[in-house]
């Protein structure tokens, strides 16, 4: 989400948008579609450990998601009929609609329940082969499988959830550093050769989706590391000055 919109600029535009009078030009209606589609996308990540209720101000989350998605789509179609060229805002809200469609049934955020419950994820997951063997894949114990990336995503989520919730605790940079060191020592070495940080690419030609799956896992790994250090970026200046010099 942060890669599509610039939060400070978006907030400034959002506050200015509320001060405008009707009738609104197409660009402002397009911005309303963006706001609605951001709402529909964001509501997918609720309930969460910090918001356990399935309602917001008396409205159910499912109604909020459906209403935002429906109204955003209607406004987007109206804007398209009025101005087929569009703008950057159109690109942004189309991307959010695509994200919601593609991620609607996935649980990739660390705060959410994974698509496989923890009690079904064992220390050594069963090696399933749901497709015919391709070339010499069957002959190699290191050969990736169709669901290898998904299983590593599950293990990634389990690793970070093992530290428990830290939202109501004061931020301690040493704890974040310790978590990161454990991550490098305990999770990174478990990556299969095809998904290692310096990957073995010999299967890329036989499995066309493997490069994309590798990038998806890398994105999830990078996002989880950013999440670990995110509180540091949210500290106030007075809190930063109280941190150790290093």
Q: Parse the chain into domains and list their residue ranges.
A: 7-103, 118-241
Question: Tokens for 175?
Answer: 């704890």
pLDDT in tens, 96-151: 676 666 555 444 444 445 555 555 554 444 544 444 444 544 446 677 887 888 88
Taking the CA atoms of 112, 117, 122 and 124 in sequence, report the sign of the dihedral they define. Answer: negative
State the chain's mean pLDDT as an integer.
Answer: 77
Q: Which of 6-10, 133-137, 212-216 has the lowest mean pLDDT?
A: 133-137
Span between the terminal Cα atoms of the chain, in Å: 31
Q: Per-residue pLDDT for 213 more than 80?
A: yes
pLDDT confidence band for 230 (50 / 70 / 90): confident
pLDDT in tens, 26-73: 888 888 888 888 888 788 777 777 777 888 888 888 888 889 888 888
- DSSP bridge pairs for 51: 48
pTM for the predicted model, two decimal places: 0.45
Q: Which of 37, 20, 45, 14 is nearest to 91 (CA)?
A: 37
Q: Which of 140, 155, 122, 157 is nearest to 194 (CA)?
A: 140
Taking the CA atoms of 91, 92, 94 and 98 in sequence, report the sign of the dihedral they define. Answer: positive
């Amino acid at each position: 989400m942060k890669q599509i919109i610039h939060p400070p600029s978006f907030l400034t535009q959002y506050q200015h948008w509320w001060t405008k009078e009707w009738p609104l030009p197409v660009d402002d209606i397009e911005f309303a579609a963006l706001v609605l589609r951001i709402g529909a996308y964001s509501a997918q990540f609720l309930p969460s450990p910090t918001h356990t209720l399935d309602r917001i101000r008396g409205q159910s989350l499912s109604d909020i998601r459906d209403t935002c998605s429906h109204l955003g789509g209607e406004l987007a179609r109206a804007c398209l009929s009025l101005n087929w060229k569009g703008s950057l805002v159109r690109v942004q809200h189309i991307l959010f609609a695509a994200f919601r469609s593609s991620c609607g049934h996935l649980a990739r955020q660390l705060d959410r329940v994974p698509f496989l419950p923890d009690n079904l994820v064992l220390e050594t997951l069963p090696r399933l082969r749901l497709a015919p063997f391709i070339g010499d894949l069957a002959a190699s114990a290191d050969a990736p499988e169709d669901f290898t990336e998904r299983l590593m995503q599950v293990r990634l989520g389990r690793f970070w959830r093992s530290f428990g919730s830290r939202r109501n605790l004061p931020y301690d940079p040493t704890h974040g550093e310790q978590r990161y060191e454990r991550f490098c020592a305990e999770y990174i070495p478990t990556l299969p050769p095809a998904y290692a940080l310096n990957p073995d690419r010999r299967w890329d030609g036989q499995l066309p989706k493997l490069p994309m799956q590798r990038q998806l896992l890398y994105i999830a790994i990078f996002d989880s590391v950013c999440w670990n250090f995110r509180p540091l970026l949210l500290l106030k200046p007075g809190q930063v000055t109280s941190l150790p010099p290093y």
